[in-house]
Each structure stands twice: as C-alpha cells, then as structure tokens.
Structure 1
Amino acid sequence: MKTKKRLNQNLIGLGGLLTVPILSFGQISVPQRPNIVIIVADDLGYGDLSCYGSTALQTPGMDRLALEGLRFTQGHCTAATSTPSRYSLLTGMYPWSNPDAKILPGNAALIIGTDQLTLPKVMKRAGYVTGTVGKWHLGLGDSQVDWNDRIYPGAGEVGYDYSFIQAATNDRVPCIFIENGMGVGLEKDDPIYVSYRKNFEGEPTGKDNPELLRMHPSVGHAGSIVNGVPRIGFQTGGRKAQWRDEEMAELFLGKAKDFIRANKNQPFFLYYGLHQPHVPRVPNERFVGKSGMGPRGDVILEADWCVSEFLKEMDRLGLTENTLVILTSDNGPVLDDGYKDDAEERVGNHKPAGPYRGWKTTMYEGGTCVPFLLRWPSVVKPGVSDALVCQMDLLASLSALVGESYSERTDSQNTLPAFLGFSGKGREELVIEGMFNYAFRQNDWTLIPPYGPNRVYELYNVKDDPGQTNNVADKYPVQLRKMMRRFEHLKRTIGKITDF
C-alpha cells in the first residue's frame, strides 16, 4: 500500500488522477501518457558502465539512470549485431523473420515495410509526436537511392514526425546527415554519389593512399577517405556536407535537445541513437586521452557526457518526473572492429562484457546481454531487476502502457510489469541471433546448437555459470532434449531459420 500511496501522490503532482489516463496493476495505478525516450548506444558492453561493475571507466551520466531507476541484469537484444537488433526493437519481430535484416551497406534499401507495424507508429496513434536522432542503419529509400533528392521511403514512413540521422554507421558511406529525408548541406553544383561496388575515378582510398590517413584499418575499411578516416564503400562529391567525426556526438545531442524543447508541452517519443563506441572511434578533442584506454574508452566517456547533458536538459525543462527513459545497447562490445586504434592493447583489466562470455556477433551472453536501464521517477522505484527482458518486447509493453492495441502479428510480448519493476517475471524464452547462427535462451538455461568445428551441443545455466565455461549438456540430457524440441518448434512456427 505504501507503493500505491507514493505513486498516487506523484500522479496528483502530474495533474491529478481525474485528468491523467490511468493504467492499473492490481493495487498500483500509473499514468498512461509519459514522455518516452529510448537511448540506444552502439556496441556498448554490459561491463563498460560503472553501474555494471566497471572500475576502469566511470560513467556517472548513465549511472544516474541506474541510481534513479531500474538496472536490469538480464536485459537482452535479439541479435549480436546492429541492424537485426534495431529491426527487432522497432518492429517487435525476430530479425530472422525478415531475410533482409542483416548488417546492411550504407546504400541498402529500407528493410521495414511502409505498411509494417512499428513502435513509433503505435506512439503516433496514441497522440505522441515522434522523433529519431542519430544512428539509423535500417536502410533508406529503394534500390536506387538518389542522395541528392528526397529519400523515400525513410524514417517518416516508419513512423517518425522528425528525423536527423546518419544512413548507416560511422564507418560506412554516405558520410552525410539526413534530416527529414533530405541530405544536409548538399549543394546542387556538388552532388554526392555512392557505390559499394567500385571507386569513382580520381577519388583517393584507404587502400591506395595510406599517406592521407590519420587512422589506419586493421581489416576492411579501405574505401573512401572522409575526414582522414577510410570507410567501407565509395563516395564522391558532397564535400561541404561531409561530417566531421569529432563533432558528431554534440550535434546529435543538440538535435535531441531541440526535439524535446520543441515538444515539451505534448507527449513525445524520441529514439536517440548514440553512435559511440562504434568504429571509427574519433572523440571530440576534449575527450581525447581522458579514459587512459585509448579511443574506445574516450568515446564511451563522450557518450556518457551526452547522456548526462541530455538528462540535465530534461531537468531544466521540468520533464524528468513524467518521462520514461530507457538506455540500452544494440549488441555486445567489440575491441578491434576494423581500425588500428589500440583497443586491444590498452583495454588492460577492463572487461567490456562484464562477467559474460562472448562479444559482438557471438551467440554467448556477452553478445546480447547488454546494459538496460529504465527510469521513470514518478512511477518506477529505484532498484535492480533480474527479470529476463528483451528490447523486442518494448513494442507490446509500451503499446499497453499508452493504451494502444494492434491486430498485426508480432513476436513482442507484453512484459510491462517487469519493465516497471512491479514483477520479477519477464520473458521465459528468447531466440538469440549471432552473426550467422542462433542460440536459445529458456529461463536461466542457454542452448547452443552444434555449429562450427566442435559439432557438439552446448548447454549452460547462466545464473550459476555466467561465463558459460562449463558445458553441462551431458549432465542434463532431459533439459537438453526439452530445449531442442522447443527450439525446433519455434523455428517452424515463427520464422525462417534454416541453418542449424
């Protein structure tokens, strides 16, 4: 009853129980129209935050969300790579239900159907103004994108009223920003052209012109040079529109602040995609050397500063109490991801994946068990939750929160009580996608089918063995067979997994 009293007092402070739509959880009532902000970092590991145990890196901005909200120890994305993970978060679908939901080149067509249900579309139905800022990497336009004209379909057709994005990632062309479907800063007499097949005549590349580089590739990344950094793919033209990596973080932060300032008097939904710590790791000059861990550590500190400054802006605008903020990552961490930036040499005793085994692209927990923080001061009591929750379930859960229903089939489950800390029970099972293979999580158990040279089944209890060092498949044959049968059933009835 104390919880109910505290929540009701907060509701009264938000405008009174008679004027705010209410959603009830037994004895607990919560307002149905909070502002909603989802902050998604890029390749940020579970162990990269000090609130998850890091001592080498201190992240007070992100830690603030943990101190004032819920810190989930079992927060998962569906895939250990970017595009599939982001696709699931926005559509509520397993990525393997869409064959195109793989790591995309920068000139890929939009992989979300214009008639497909998405989280921002649900928010729009509920009367929210919607925006996305930062990393995109879900494709844009059709198979023949003209970057110099309106790019259609794009973020607007996915459900966003406002968008300021990069087409893919920092290491892929086109290296320009796109605002509401139009390239930013492009000039008619200097159009931009993009190719992922061959270079444009006369354009230097990382492969042929290493003398022009300030950052060198370790593998791949030998295409066009932008801002002294070689990228994947080739582009020519658009000189004045090309981004400067050092300015990207503050630019995205400014756009995110602008969005909430412009919409502070109405319910808003913002997807804020941090580009850090994805490669190339080029922090603003004032963060260079601050971590003692090289560029990867420096850009994590930069990302943390961005989160801190964004939260301060919410404070200044009086939005903190009734804004639900989620911070998470698209997948697990990686050190060497294609550039020689000393990430492996300077990591020291820091464990980017925390206690978990695996990294970005892998089926082990370190690939998909990511930071997951949720703060809603007027409703959510600070603490730690061990519930198994997944980004894919935000669609169904937030739809329930804002009072919206939908008839389209999704893989998203309504686990709102777990997200808000009212229940310790989240998902019971989850299919996890690595780079080219799959694992199956069921409560505390993880099954990994016999991929690779070993060709043996792996079974782990991640509660007892978070590092997944002790394969107990032989010890628990009944559990193994039960999970094998269930996984096969899911493959047949949900999606299009063909490789086992």
Structure 2
Amino acid sequence: MRTLSFLLAVTAVLVSATIASADQRPNFLVIMCDDLGYGDLECYGHPSIRTPNLNKLADEGVRFTSYYSAAPVCSPSRAGLITGQTPTQVGIYDWIPGGSPMHVRAEEVTLPRLLKQAGYETGLFGKWHCNGKFNSPQQPQPDDLGFDYWFATQNNAGPTHENPVNFVRNGKKVGPTEGFSCQVVADEAINWLSEVRRNDKPFFALVTFHEPHEPIASPDDLVKSYPDADKKGEALYYANVTNMDRAVGRLMAKVDELNLRDNTLVVFTSDNGPETLNRYSSAWRSHGSPGPLRGMKLHIYDGGIRVPGIARMPGKIDAGIESDFPVCSLDLLPTLCELGGAEVPTDAKLDGTSLAPMFAGEMVEREKPLFWHYYRAFGEAKVAVRDGDWKLVALWDRGNVKPGSAYKTGDYQLITKANFTDFELYNLTEDIGETNDLADQHPEIANRLKKALLHKYEEATANAINWYAEKK
C-alpha cells in the first residue's frame, strides 16, 4: 500500500506518549452531529444556512475537505469512533432499535476506556445509540465502556428536539427537560466542564448532538430568520442547524472562560451524510445537503460518508488551514491515545491511523486504505475503499435490500456471504461527484484496490456476530 503523506503547518509540537504529567497533556473535546450533511454548513458552501460559530472554529484551525465517518448510518458510525475499528468488525451492522440484542460489547477496546486508564476524566453528552437495551444491566452502558459521567439518550431526542423527556444521567432517568436538545446537551457538558470534573486531570468529552436528525424542532426566532426558505420544512431544518451552531458557540465560550482554549483539541464532525427528504413520514423537514457529493445518508458513495470535519488547537494547529488529506473518525482512537499518552493494546485490531505526526509537521503513513461496509446501503454498492485520490466501490449480486431498516433475523448471511460482481473506480480529486468510472482505464489501480477491499471485507466478517443465532 502506497504511503499517504500530509504536512500540517504548526507552531509547536504536541506532547508525546512519554509525558507523564497530566496537566501537560491535551484535553479532547469531540463534537458529533447527527445527519449533518457535507454541504450543510456555511463554511462548507451552503448558500443559506448561517453557522457563524463553526465558521469561526474553521477559521481558527483546519477545515478538512475529505473527512469521513466510519459508516453511512448512525450506530455503526458511533461504534467505529469509540472502537477505532470498522463497525462490521465489532458486530454493529446498522442502526440499533430499542430492545435490539446488538451492542458494543464490554470486551471491545474503546477510546474512553483507554484514556480513562491513562488518567483522563471522561464524559458523554447526547446521543449514545451503541446498544439496544439502554440503561439496562442486560447490555454494557456508557460507563461500562469507559465514560466516568454520562448524560444520554438511547437514540433520538424524544418526542422531538424541543423539551425532550428521555435523557438518562449516570443510570438515572432525568425526566422532562426544558429547551432544545442541543442546548440541553450543551448545558450538561458546560456544567460538567466547570463544576463536576476534576481540574487536576485532563479530560475527554464526547458531545453528540441529536440535530439535525428527525424529528426536528427549532426555535421560532430562528425559523422566522429564514423567510426565503419557502419549501415545506426547509426553514425548520435551516434553523435546526443554526441552533446547533449556537450550542457549539456556547461550548467554545466556556472552554475559553475556563482557560482551556490553548490546551484543548476540539474536533467537530457528523455521524454520516444528510437524510433523504421524504424517505419516511416525518422526514419532510430533512433538507440536508451533500454539497457536490454523490448520494446521501445510507449510501456508500461519498454523500453518505464524507462529512464536515474541523479541528482546532490554538498554538498547535495554525489558523485558517484547509486540507484535502483523507481522514476518518476511525483515526480518533489512535490519534488521541498517542497525544494523551494512553497505551493501546498491541493486539487491538484498529483500522484507524494515528494522525499525531501531522501535529509535528511530519508525514502520516496509512498502512491500509480507508474501508466502509454497509449491507443495507442504497443500491447495489455495499463496500468501498479509499487510498489517496482513488476510491473503489464494490457492487454485489443480491440487488437492493431495504435501506436503513435495521438488522433482522436472516441478515447474517447478507453480511457475511456477499458476492461482489462489479467494481467502480473514481479519482476523487478530479471527480468529487463520482460520475466517471475509471476501472477500465486504470485496471492496475482497480485490481490493487480490489485485493485490498476483498481482504478487508473477509477480515471484517471473519468473526461476525450473529445476534439472533440463539433464535430458531
């Protein structure tokens, strides 16, 4: 596999894994939205949606134009972020309905657990969606996977983003809350940062907003501020993204107020691409944009997996940088562990690559290409790899299956026994919209990536979990 390189201008080198003093190690604040499209932010080219706080965050750090989620759907994407592994490899194949047997197992290596073991204070705030039996002893909960403190919902904010009633704090139901979900989540994270966590320890906070996933609700003042959004539900969606931006601004203000700005790495991203308008009954407000990308949520094409990605750490990352180097949420586990001095087990089967060298202006070497697998993706394209400029997409022989309908009895065979019949090759630097299949023109590249794709697919499914194996 050829070496990928990336040089990021910096003014100082971040701490290495050999530094033992906690107060010298960086804090980590990772913010993830739900169904926010690549083209949904003002700083990513949206012509109408106002996101001043995220514009500022991008101006103060690096804006990635090839940032990828681990999957084109929520639960696998989140599982990938916390484990650093292809979601299929840890048994998270699709979104997890309430009551499902699917969950991230307690024995998995996780980012919060590794950082906690290294002396970090860890907190989760917002959407969890890594188990079906939420807040139950029958499955691991956020604290079992490494979070000291958690304030979360199993899936969406209910009944809508406005005044949600389904939050749980450290195993206890919270009951009705007042305000919109992103602000409720920001309030909890702000309180944890200022009043709950230990100030003598570095922290890792994972803030997972529900916005702009359905069912969408938005403040009236923001809805009215988009008078030109005349399609049904359009102003509601635009206002929803702007409200989330306000919550980000409040978080950043608190980081500054607590004098944490210079020693906190902030990463902002989304779990997958934007929801398709009218895909289901309540999706009439889903006016998200993939920008110039092909596909949307649930697609294996870039519209489903390429998302906004912004990173800021003043004094360590120069301001106003734009990078097209391909990175993925799978990279967060090895990167944050290296920067934070957390030891990753030598037998961990990570698919992400540490980006820590780039903070020292050095090359990043990716030993294997980025990989995605979603057996219920729209269309026949179910698997893809990206290596540098090139992306190979694999199509299977089983036609269409209903996208996003969740893992069911019998799906194990679809996941583990796929036959791939056709392969498409795209140069994403020259063809961001994946419109020109170059497999016939570049057979040597297609064959090389095909071997890598099939090898990783076999590896990811070799020990696949059959969650309904006990049922006849």
TM-score, normalised with respect to structure 1: 0.76
Q: Deviations over 1:261-312 (max 9, x none)?
A: 1234531110000110000111133322334332211110111111011111
1:248 aligns with 2:181: yes
1:328 corresponds to: 269
Q: Match for 1:297 among 233, 238, 246?
A: 238
1:313 corresponds to: 254
1:176 aligns with 2:166: yes
Partners of 2:214 and 2:257 in 1: how far apart? 33
Partners of 1:484 and 1:414 in 2: how far apart? 21
Q: Is the 8 A contact 2:391 2:428 kept in 1?
A: yes
1:492 aligns with 2:433: no
1:435-450 to structure 2, matched below 5 A, reads: 435-436=376-377, 437-450=382-395
Q: Is the 8 A contact 1:140 1:154 kept in 2?
A: no
Secondary structure of 1:133's counterpart equals: strand
Distance 1:178 1:405, change over 3 A: same
Q: Match for 1:338 among 275, 280, 290?
A: 280
Displacement of 1:338: 2.5
Q: Could you list the structure 1 runs, at least 4 aligned residues long, displaced by more than 6 angstroms after superposition.
A: 171-174
Partners of 1:497 and 1:482 in 2: how far apart? 25
Q: Match for 2:447 among 451, 474, 481?
A: 481
Distance 1:496 1:85, change over 3 A: farther
Q: Match for 1:159 among 146, 161, 164?
A: 146
- Please say which structure displays the higher CA radius of gyration: 1
Identity of aligned residues (%): 31
Q: Is the 8 A contact 2:103 2:139 kept in 1?
A: no
Partners of 1:342 and 1:424 in 2: how far apart? 45
1:220 corresponds to: none
Secondary structure of 1:105's counterpart equals: coil
2:413 corresponds to: none
Q: Is the 8 A contact 2:86 2:372 kept in 1?
A: no
Displacement of 1:462: 0.8
1:429-468 to structure 2, matched below 5 A, reads: 429-434=369-374, 435-436=376-377, 437-451=382-396, 452=399, 456-468=422-434
Q: Deviations over 1:188-244 (max 9, x none)?
A: xxxxxxxxxxxxxxxxxxxxxxxxxxxxxxxxxxxxxxxxxxxxxxxxxxxxx4x67
2:415 corresponds to: none
Displacement of 1:444: 1.2
1:21-60 to structure 2, matched below 5 A, reads: 22=16, 33-60=25-52
1:420 aligns with 2:359: yes
Distance 1:151 1:98, change over 3 A: closer
Distance 1:99 1:77, change over 3 A: same
Displacement of 1:426: 5.8
For structure 2, list consecutive stretches of 5 or more residues without a partner in the other structure. 1-8, 401-419, 465-472
Q: Which moved more, 1:56-65 or 1:88-97?
A: 56-65
Displacement of 1:108: 3.1
1:84 corresponds to: 76
TM-score, normalised with respect to structure 2: 0.80
Q: Match for 2:318 among 378, 381, 388?
A: 381
Q: Is the 8 A contact 1:388 1:425 kept in 2?
A: no
Distance 1:363 1:171, change over 3 A: farther
Q: Aligned pairs, how many?
A: 412
Displacement of 1:165: 0.3
Distance 1:296 1:397, change over 3 A: same
Secondary structure of 1:261's counterpart equals: helix
Q: Is the 8 A contact 1:120 1:160 kept in 2?
A: yes
Partners of 1:360 and 1:325 in 2: how far apart? 25
Alignment-mate amino acid for residue 206 of structure 2: Y
2:468 corresponds to: none
For structure 1, list consecutive stretches of 5 or more residues without a partner in the other structure. 12-20, 25-30, 186-240
2:408 corresponds to: none
Considering only aligned residues, what root-mean-square deviation do their CA atoms show, in Å?
Answer: 2.9
Partners of 1:114 and 1:177 in 2: how far apart? 22
Secondary structure of 2:395's counterpart equals: coil
2:211 corresponds to: 276
Distance 1:423 1:367, change over 3 A: farther
Distance 1:426 1:22, change over 3 A: closer
Q: Is the 8 A contact 1:387 1:425 kept in 2?
A: no
Alignment-mate amino acid for residue 386 of structure 2: R
Q: Is the 8 A contact 1:446 1:462 kept in 2?
A: yes
Displacement of 1:171: 6.4
Alignment-mate amino acid for residue 266 of structure 1: K
Secondary structure of 1:47's counterpart equals: coil
Secondary structure of 1:449's counterpart equals: strand
1:212-231 to structure 2, matched below 5 A, reads: none
Q: Is the 8 A contact 2:330 2:353 kept in 1?
A: no
2:349 corresponds to: 410
Partners of 2:188 and 2:94 in 1: how far apart? 28
Distance 1:318 1:32, change over 3 A: closer
Q: Deviations over 1:151-191 (max 9, x none)?
A: 86311101011000011123689951111012223xxxxxx
Alignment-mate amino acid for residue 298 of structure 2: T
Displacement of 1:56: 1.5
Partners of 2:235 and 2:459 in 1: how far apart? 46
1:397 aligns with 2:339: no
Q: Which moved more, 1:305-314 or 1:469-478?
A: 469-478
1:66 corresponds to: 58
Distance 1:175 1:97, change over 3 A: farther
Displacement of 1:72: 0.9
Q: Is the 8 A contact 1:155 1:181 kept in 2?
A: no
Q: Which moved more, 1:92-101 or 1:465-474?
A: 92-101
Partners of 2:142 and 2:356 in 1: how far apart? 30
Distance 1:421 1:458, change over 3 A: farther
